[in-house]
Amino acid sequence: MKSITSYTSDYLLIEGGKPLRGAVKISGSKNATLPILMATILTREECQIGNVPQLLDVRTTLELLNHLGARVVSDSSWVCVETAPLRSHTAPDHMVRRMRASVLVMGPLLARLGRALVSMPGGCSIGVRSIDQHLKVFEKAGASISIRHGYLDLNIRKIKPVEHTFEVITVTGTENALMLLSACPKRSVLRNIALEPEIMDLVEVLGKMGAQIDIDGRTAVIRGSEELAGFKHSVIPDRIEAGTFMVASYVSGGDVLLENLRVDHLGSVIEKLREAGAEVEILDLSTLRVRGKTTIKPLSISTSEYPGFPTDMQAQFMVLCSLADGVSEITENIFENRFQHVGELQRMGADIHVRGRTAIVRGVKRLEGAEVYSTDLRASASLVIAGLVADGQTIVRDIYHLDRGYERLEEKLRSLGASVERCPSREY
């Protein structure tokens, strides 16, 4: 896999006012790829994973697997992982701080080696994302847990079957529990699980490995295996990347064909775009077309767990609402600190006022180019969209956040006619 520089100081220089036109292919899902890569720890056999995006978070995960002793070979979008034998049970601080999803190593390491020593997690600064829900499942399964010098030290002799109800719906908590319990041959039950498409992709992989997982509503019944097999699997398309391009297409007044996506994963995004006035034409299950109109209608948005409106699309839709003809309300119910992009959008002329978990957005006629700073992954995407439609030049700094979750974003935007250039900081 192509090397991606960690924490680059590059910035994007965007000249606004150019409608996006053409076709774009959506990459594989970051949020599906990461847990599937971690699942390779569960088996001693070779695993082949396709449609893997070239992202900073993916590279960090592969570095972590390599540190644990895995043999990793990549060719284009395919990655081959072999984890026999593993030489370490430690996920070091310098890796985990770069990516919060590193906590997904806990369940597989416990299942495979009986021990995991994992640094406390890092990632985007969008709010507290507690791992207590993970640990409660591990304890019920027989794990002992302690904290030593900033590391979680987990030990287990034999995985016991679990019957557990999550107190809150948690994506990574569900994934970690499913991976651990897939190595337990006795029947386990998890209730109030998350149902995101990325979790269903992991469930399909665990099924290929030999676990039987039946899901009814938000309840999963797991019957695992002590000897899980290798697998070959192609990752689902990234619904958040698709949604980001859909919003950018609409607000720029463009006409874009989006290919290699899953229409069935985009229900709430399509619904809100149409409500805002976009023409969204579904051509088949993997292709749709988005066309812009002159007037954007205001929206009322409330983020929630899948299949509700995704928190990962809140920032992008805030740009849309900033240009709407009227007043919109956006309520963030998942993370308590996910309005950090508001101040940067205000620098570009947006009229946004935050009251607790709700942002009141009064549409303006235009945004103006400015120098803005990324604060997290999806906030970065919102600033890029704002730059595409703003008058004049926009500089988006700290774009290492973008590299964590969007594959070749500036290249794809240029292919659609946007004026976007990646520049090293020393040139400005």
* Dist CA 117 CA 106 (whole Å): 8
Output the pLDDT for position 75.
Answer: 85
Strand partners, 397: 373
Neighbouring-strand partners of residue 359: 330, 354
The 3-state DSSP class for residue 3 equals coil
Q: What's the pLDDT at 101?
A: 86
φ and ψ at residue 9, rounded to 5 degrees: -95, 15
Strand intervals (E) in 224-315: 232-234, 255-259, 279-284, 287-291, 300-302
Give bridge partners of residue 309 from the DSSP assignment: 303
Q: What is the DSSP string of 328-374?
A: EEEE--S-TT--THHHHHHHTT-EEEEETTEEEEE--S--B--EEE-
Spatial distance between the Cα atoms of 246 and 248, rounded to a whole number of angstroms:
5
Distance of CA 316 to the CA centre of its chain: 14
Q: Which CATH superfamily is domain 30-234 in?
A: Enolpyruvate transferase domain (3.65.10.10)
Domain ranges of the chain: 11-26+237-427, 30-234
Angle at 340 between CA 334 and CA 342, to 5 degrees: 110
pLDDT for res 426: 60
53 burial (CB, 10 Å; 0-12 / 13-18 / 19+) is buried
Q: Could you read off the pLDDT of 394-423 as tens digits, one per residue? A: 999 999 989 989 999 999 999 999 999 999
Q: In CATH terms, are 11-26+237-427 and 30-234 the same topology? A: yes
Q: Is 189 helix (H, G, I), strand (E, B) or coil?
A: strand
**Which pLDDT belongs to residue 399?**
93
Q: What is the pTM of this model?
A: 0.94
Q: What tokens were used for 217?
A: 């509503």
Where residue 337 falls among pLDDT bands split at 50, 70, 90?
low
Which of the residues are catalytic? 124
What mean pLDDT comes out for the span 315-321?
Answer: 97
pLDDT tens by residue, 94-105: 888 888 789 999
Tell me the CATH number of domain 11-26+237-427, given options 1.10.1040.10, 3.20.20.80, 3.30.2130.30, 3.65.10.10. Answer: 3.65.10.10
**Are 415 and 16 a contacting pair, CB within 8 Å?**
no
